[in-house]
Structure 1
Amino acid sequence: MSTGRGRNPAGVTEVLLDTTTTSPMMVCVAEILILALVVITALAFDFTNGFHDTGNAMATSIATGALRPKVAVALSAVLNLVGAFLSVEVAATVAKGIVNLEGVDGSALLTVVFAGLVGGILWNVFTWLLGLPSSSSHALFGGLIGAAIAALGMGGVVWDGVLAKIVLPALLAPVVAGAVAAVGTFVIYRITRSVPAGYQEKGFRWGQVGSASLVSLAHGTNDAQKTMGVIFLALVAHGSLSPDDGMPFWVKASCAIAIGLGTYLGGWRVIRTLGKGLVEISAPQGMAAETSSAAIILTSSSLGLPLSTTHVATGSILGSGVGRRGATVRWSVAGRMGVAWLTTIPAAGAIGAACWALAHVIGGPLGIIVVFGVLVAACLAMWLHSRKAPVNPDNVNEEWDPAEVPVPATVRAVDELVAAP
């Protein structure tokens, strides 16, 4: 990798690797160390994506009893792993459609990618702590955009790509998914209105197993590829690949395994919110919601759109509540989710920009290592805090009672924050 070519805003490259005072061997070791930390951090993001988004596929099946909690996350993990190998269209969009690669020095780009990943991970873990199903995709994109702006200015972002492939799908996806699920739920209840409720529940629970499995497969085709795209971007920045090269198999395999492991861990706090907090859901509603989500996610993956599976799944669940006459829809919980959705990109962007600034000020591999240490410490602190009100397979399906259940109690903190003057 050359450290003296291309765009070099604010002396970024010289701060990272000063080749005038460092031997070639040490420069090479430093470059490899930085690349390794970026790849590790990318896989860590993929892992958080898995446990944060497990509820998108399995929350309704767990809530209705169609699948036992541990069986559900194991099935979802396997299908996420398989889905990651089915396509690379979304990975290509992430690798080439968000950050402007033209003329950017490799060292500067690696730091941008690293800082963006840290921003995405920290926002993912924070919203998991609150039990809020925010978008892992938008956390990643927000972190990358914030870091790119901080390092390269406004020209460091491909704004046409952001508008066409992030903003517009974010606005349309939950609306379309909700409408499809509402119509599907209405039709299901209309067709089966003469069938006793008990038989409805039993029959559609079997249907939920198939539809939830399809969502998990779709999630793998869409979300695992986002991390593939980021690692590909890092390899291009390092000089190991050119922008026109194909996706290496080891990148596909490692991303598939990371998202599968994260999914198996199970993001129980988010699963609880989606399964019990939004709608008092029945098996027919669950099947309608899951089928709608799978159809939309698979379509977006084939088109190369890095869609937020969280937005799709949440819109589908809300739509299933609207489509069933007399169903309970908790719009206050949906409102809290909406606040999280609106703040995800700017919040992750601010974290990404701050991480880039810290790495830039310290300089060299040490700057990257310090930011990595901050990431580990912050994640550990949030995990320890979550142990004060744990959510697990044993209590994930308890009745949703804001006065008693731990998850709503933590989510009320968001209400107080929003209501504060």
Structure 2
Amino acid sequence: MPRTALPLGIALLFLLLAAALAAVGIPEGPLRWLVILGAVATGYMALNIGANDVANNMGPAVGAKAIPIVAALAIAAVFDAAGALLAGSDVIDTLANELLTREADFSGTTLIIVMIAALITAASWLNLSTFVGAPVSTTHAIVGGVVGAAVAAGGVGAVAWSTIAMIAVTWTISPILGGAIAAAIHAAIRITITRRADKLAAAQTWVPILVAAMAGIFAMYLATKSPGHFWRSNPATTMALGLIFAALGWAVAMPWVRMRSLVLENRKKQVARLFRPPLIVAAALLSFAHGSNDVANALGPLMAILAAARTTPDLALQSAPLWTLAIGAFGIAMGIALFGPRVIHTVGVQITKLNEIRAFCVALSAAITLLAASAFGLPISSTHVAVGAVFGVGFLREYLAIRDMKGAAVPVETQFVDAAMLNDTPQLAIARERRYERRYLVRRLKVARIGATWLVTLPASAGLAAIVYLLLDIAIA
């Protein structure tokens, strides 16, 4: 069997399993077959969420060579699935409630077709994006799908446009916040550690502090995402947990950093190795947070489908049945394992060169940005945050490189080239081009392509979903 056929075969088996779980989990009724179709579409969406979004958490760590890609896929699959199963049911009931207005007044069958069309379209767009190696927002894809299908079914009044406007604002807020925070962290590490004469001594002081900050921030963020049916954290408890875990992080990191420093040389590349274990831990925790949050992009429409099939007045159920969580969790995990490497390569390697320190800045920036957004109720995209953080680190390095080049003495060979630039010879043109190419540490073409896919994700998903809805409506009718 060809290598490309095996993952597709496994994915097909998973979709058949999703249909079987739905057939066992739902009662008999006239809309039962549509719910089963919706479960299959949910499984397809979950696979593509895992395939595309794994790069947000593991791409920087893999690009920095802190962890092999096979191990990264395994860690991401386990922690994403755990987050979806343990903490995912508390967020799945927001999608339909926030995007559709009561004016829509869809019948049960119409609402089910809307959600199936949204799932098929969003998953297909993510599938295409993953194939070309483009990291896109799974939230924007499913939002666009719901909007397009809902407008096709009930007109423009069926959609809560204020919510769509808020999501559109995050197109710019998410990457800017992620990039600015990552650049600030990287600048702070340069000042406190890597630019010091005695880098190891500085690392013994500051690396435990950075690990403590990471532990406290992740503890607070995960506390805010705790499932409400088990335990709900209030602001005071969240802050206390942050302080406790920050102290624990410092207590664990301090002796380890001092012990490791004894066998390292006083060089930047050696000091960067101290960031490898906290980077791997951060990537795992980001995967858990991703599973708990983004499983809603697959299960939200399915919950609306179940509610419509049961003819309840609410657009979504209060909690997800276990079989639906299983489809979402294992679908994301299988998407990571089967189709994740392509986008990981884009984020970790093709945008800018990463090492352990830069990748740690990306991970810590993502955690800080997501925590701040959760505190202020901003619906930001984890993909935009993570990729924006990579941009931020890369552009800071580029700015510093250009500044250092301007301040450095000009070599004799360069003086000769500058003096002779009036002679337009091919050799001098090539020398001049190479001199300026070395200044660019972020690939402009890759940035432009990613930005373009971000801009078109929501409108493209909406347009395609409208078409898919009309086709399904004709076929089912």
Alignment-derived partner of residue 170 in structure 2: 169
Q: Does 1:249 align with 2:249?
A: no
Q: Which runs of 5+ in 1 are unaligned?
A: 1-27, 365-421
Alignment-derived partner of residue 368 in structure 1: none
Whether the aligned pair in 2 keeps the contact of 1:221 and 1:298 (CA below 8 Å) is: no
Alignment-derived partner of residue 147 in structure 2: 145
Deviation of 1:254 after TM superposition, in Å, equals: 2.9
Q: Deviations over 1:139-160 (max 9, x none)?
A: 1111111111111100111112
Q: Counterparts of 2:460 and 2:131 in 1: how far apart (Å)?
A: 16
Q: Counterparts of 1:296 and 1:249 in 2: how far apart (Å)?
A: 31
Give the letter for the 2:388 counterpart: G
Question: Secondary structure at 2:92's aligned position in 1?
Answer: helix
Alignment-derived partner of residue 292 in structure 2: 221
Between 1:84-93 and 1:153-162, the stretch displaced more is 84-93
Give the letter for the 1:71 counterpart: A
Alignment-derived partner of residue 100 in structure 1: 101
Give the letter for the 2:140 counterpart: H
Distance 1:82 1:180, change over 3 A: same
Alignment-derived partner of residue 211 in structure 2: none
State which of 442, 451, 470 in structure 2 corresponds to 1:338: 451
Q: Which runs of 5+ in 2 are unaligned?
A: 1-27, 200-266, 402-439
Alignment-derived partner of residue 113 in structure 1: 115
Q: Does 1:356 align with 2:469?
A: yes
Q: Counterparts of 2:473 and 2:88 in 1: how far apart (Å)?
A: 36
Whether the aligned pair in 1 keeps the contact of 2:394 and 2:442 (CA below 8 Å) is: yes
Distance 1:38 1:301, change over 3 A: farther
Give the letter for the 1:147 counterpart: A
Trace 1:262-301 onto structure 2 (pairs within 5 A): 262-300=335-373
The count of residues paired between Structure 1 and Structure 2 equals: 336
Whether the aligned pair in 2 keeps the contact of 1:89 and 1:301 (CA below 8 Å) is: no
Give the letter for the 1:123 counterpart: W
Question: Secondary structure at 2:442's aligned position in 1?
Answer: coil
Whether the aligned pair in 2 keeps the contact of 1:321 and 1:329 (CA below 8 Å) is: yes
Alignment-derived partner of residue 43 in structure 1: 43
Q: Counterparts of 2:474 and 2:320 in 1: how far apart (Å)?
A: 33
Q: Deviations over 1:207-255 (max 9, x none)?
A: 2112212221221122112222221111122126552742123133332
Question: Secondary structure at 2:50's aligned position in 1?
Answer: helix
Give the letter for the 1:72 counterpart: A
Alignment-derived partner of residue 304 in structure 2: 233
Whether the aligned pair in 2 keeps the contact of 1:184 and 1:323 (CA below 8 Å) is: no
Deviation of 1:29 after TM superposition, in Å, equals: 5.5
Whether the aligned pair in 1 keeps the contact of 2:117 and 2:468 (CA below 8 Å) is: yes
Whether the aligned pair in 2 keeps the contact of 1:54 and 1:266 (CA below 8 Å) is: no
Q: Counterparts of 1:242 and 1:302 in 2: how far apart (Å)?
A: 30
Trace 1:6-405 onto structure 2 (pairs within 5 A): 30-84=30-84, 85-86=86-87, 88=89, 90-102=91-103, 103-164=105-166, 166-193=167-194, 194=196, 195=199, 196-239=267-310, 241-243=312-314, 245-250=317-322, 251-300=324-373, 306-324=379-397, 325-326=400-401, 328-364=441-477
User: What is the root-mean-square deviation of aligned Cα atoms in Å?
Assistant: 2.0
Radius of gyration: which is bigger?
A: 2
Whether the aligned pair in 2 keeps the contact of 1:89 and 1:302 (CA below 8 Å) is: no
Q: Counterparts of 1:80 and 1:353 in 2: how far apart (Å)?
A: 31
Question: Secondary structure at 1:121's aligned position in 2?
Answer: helix
Q: Counterparts of 1:206 and 1:73 in 2: how far apart (Å)?
A: 17
Distance 1:299 1:41, change over 3 A: farther
Q: Counterparts of 1:266 and 1:187 in 2: how far apart (Å)?
A: 36
Q: Counterparts of 1:105 and 1:171 in 2: how far apart (Å)?
A: 36
Deviation of 1:266 after TM superposition, in Å, equals: 4.2
Q: Deviations over 1:45-72 (max 9, x none)?
A: 0111011111110011111111111100
Distance 1:273 1:245, change over 3 A: closer
Deviation of 1:256 after TM superposition, in Å, equals: 1.9
Q: Counterparts of 1:278 and 1:233 in 2: how far apart (Å)?
A: 38
Whether the aligned pair in 2 keeps the contact of 1:290 and 1:313 (CA below 8 Å) is: yes
Q: Deviations over 1:304-355 (max 9, x none)?
A: 6553221111101111112333371112211111111111111111111110
Percent of matched pairs sharing the same residue: 29
Whether the aligned pair in 2 keeps the contact of 1:146 and 1:350 (CA below 8 Å) is: yes
Deviation of 1:34 after TM superposition, in Å, equals: 0.6
Distance 1:170 1:71, change over 3 A: same
Q: Counterparts of 2:91 and 2:173 in 1: how far apart (Å)?
A: 18
- TM-score scaled by structure 1? 0.75
Whether the aligned pair in 2 keeps the contact of 1:116 and 1:352 (CA below 8 Å) is: yes
